[in-house]
Amino acid sequence: MEWTVVINTWLKEGKDGTGNLLDYPWDTTVNELEGPMEREIIIASHPKIPFNIEVVVSKHFTNLVINPLIPTDAFPLDEKMRLYKKLLHLNTDLNLMKAGLIGYDDQPVIQVDLDLESISMQEFNDALTLLIVGAQNLINLLGLQEKVKEFMLERFKQFVAVKLSEGETEGDILDFLTCRGGLDAEVAEEIFRQVTVLINENGAKKDEEEIKPKDYKGPMYG
């Protein structure tokens, strides 16, 4: 679809260190969605962002979605009611963005719907920004900030392990962590040190699955 190509290009072309989220160079995959309507989905990810962003493109609209993968169906009733009330408040606190529930286990999602008839690159960038803000608000509401931080730290370690296995130099890996990952130099160096010590202790041979970067499976599963 024509708009899928345009939006995918917006996401992929960019340079780290810029101010706008759309100016980041996002890693993307594009797939068709099954169903009666013709739709395609772009899955966008970036090392700085713990959540994948799903961009669903149809004939007239595009829907930007973040699903932090937090099941709430097992929450106690009073806790669920408090959370759902806060989600409703999010709908009025931020323009364009809406919060809702999907799936049998009632996962909260943050979504922005844009009309392709009038969409612009700036409007798409604003939508991305709102998604990230909304998802962070959701994590804060659930008190899962530390879980997400732990996941991000583990993911950076996984990135380092993979890059070492692919023969990248220490300088290249530190550049990745600081430029693409947005880490301070001291934090990046400490992560690199921890991974290299672990590899040296356990031997050079690692099962491929052990050093594969983790897919985001939600802060509840970290």
What is the model's pLDDT at position 57?
Answer: 93
Query: Taking the domains of the chain in order of start, what are their residue ranges?
Result: 2-143, 152-221
Q: Is beta strand 49-57 parallel, antiparallel or unpaired with respect to 61-66?
A: antiparallel
Residues of the chain with pLDDT below 50 are: 204-222
The CATH topology of domain 2-143 is Yope Regulator; Chain: A, (3.30.1460)
Alpha-carbon span 216 to 222, nearest angstrom: 9
What is the model's pLDDT at position 56?
Answer: 92
